[in-house]
Amino acid sequence: MKRLAGKTALVTGASRGIGRGIAERLAQDGARVAVHYGSNEAAAKETVSAIERAGGSAFAIGAELGVPGDAAALWAAFDAHADGLDILVNNAGIGTSHSFAEADEDEHDRLFAVNVKAPFFITQLGAERLRDGGRVINISSGLSRAAVMPQIMTYAMTKGALDVFTQNLSKVLGARGITVNSVAPGIVDTDVNAAWLRGEENKQAWEGAAAMSALGKVGTPQDIADAVAFLASEDGRWVTGHWLDATGGSLT
Ligand code: NDP
């Protein structure tokens, strides 16, 4: 029997990138997966189709995060398809291209609204739906532990806040046997990095990004998804309040 058979998972931001990789992997392990998206319904449907083609089960739910009432809207959409869940992956997030000198208040608020406030309230409202023995996995970043890209410090700060949430929440939900962990990717080949990383013209940037990893390559969504799958599984039951370095050794 597959190790997540009978479980239900919700992955925010699963229409593309790392979230899609996580959704596909959890479905491959037997979970029924809620594929959340913000605006790209077509991409979410494509993720659902890919899961179904591989023999898994999934459904798409849309809810824009970072706006008032976002968490309630997400759970209303979820409840229309499922009765409770076992695994919550707070993956949806946004980056910034503004440095310390360029940062403005609106963008600062937006980054914290999507990357910190939304996962907090999604989890708060989701706690009653999450079954005992469940999992909360927050997708952080290597940048919360190392100032290797100070030009995007506001983004790094949001992930630091998310990690503090992870640690504290592990104490709050631990009594119910629910583990709470952060998984921290390094540079991963997703749309968010496409403009500076993909294509022949960015070959040098790609090589530089690969060289940051001890393993000499740029990460893939699957690299992150496999780490998440461990924490989501029964094998991960004794790991909680932990920050898992999934940077391919970029911080060593
Ligand atoms: P992508 O930009 O490829 O995908 C983002 C996903 O989040 C999409 O599914 C998108 O939905 C959803 N999303 C974004 N903003 C919102 C919003 N306001 N409301 C609802 N949904 C939203 O991101 P990545 O896969 O690269 O990143 C995933 C996570 O990993 C993020 O938390 C990111 O910070 C983190 N991370 C990424 C790294 C990388 O190098 N890629 C490195 C370290 C951490 P839609 O398709 O509808 O737009």
pTM score, whole prediction: 0.99
> What's the confidence (pLDDT) of residue 93?
98
The boundaries of the domain holding residue 83 are 8-193+221-239
Ligand 1 pocket, mutate which of 18, 41, 65, 222 (most atoms under 8 A from CB): 18
- Alpha carbon of 20 to ligand 1 centroid (Å): 10
Instruction: Let me know if residue 213 belongs to a domain.
Output: no
Instruction: Let me know if residue 210 belongs to a domain.
Output: no
List active site positions: 155
Instruction: Let me know if residue 178 belongs to a domain.
Output: yes
Which residues, given as ranges, of the chain have pLDDT below 50?
none
Instruction: Let me know if residue 203 belongs to a domain.
Output: no
> What's the confidence (pLDDT) of residue 96?
95
Residues 6+ apart with CB under 8 A from 86: 4, 7, 8, 9, 31, 130, 131, 133, 134, 135
What is the H or E stretch that residue 8 is in? strand 8-11
> What's the confidence (pLDDT) of residue 44?
99
The percent of residues above 70 in pLDDT, for the chain, comes to 100
Q: Which residues line ligand 1 (CB under 6 A)?
A: 13-19, 37-40, 43, 64-66, 91-94, 114, 139, 141, 185, 187-188, 190-193
Q: Is 30 helix (H, G, I), strand (E, B) or coil?
A: coil
Instruction: Let me know if residue 206 belongs to a domain.
Output: no
> What's the confidence (pLDDT) of residue 197?
97
Domain count along the chain: 1
Ligand 1 pocket, mutate which of 74, 89, 94 (most atoms under 8 A from CB): 94
What span, in angstroms and rounded, lies between the C-alpha atoms of 56 and 25? 10
Distances (CA, A) of 149 to 60, 152, 185: 34, 6, 14
Instruction: Let me know if residue 214 belongs to a domain.
Output: no
- For residue 114, the domain's CATH number is 3.40.50.720
Instruction: Let me know if residue 207 belongs to a domain.
Output: no
> What's the confidence (pLDDT) of residue 38?
98
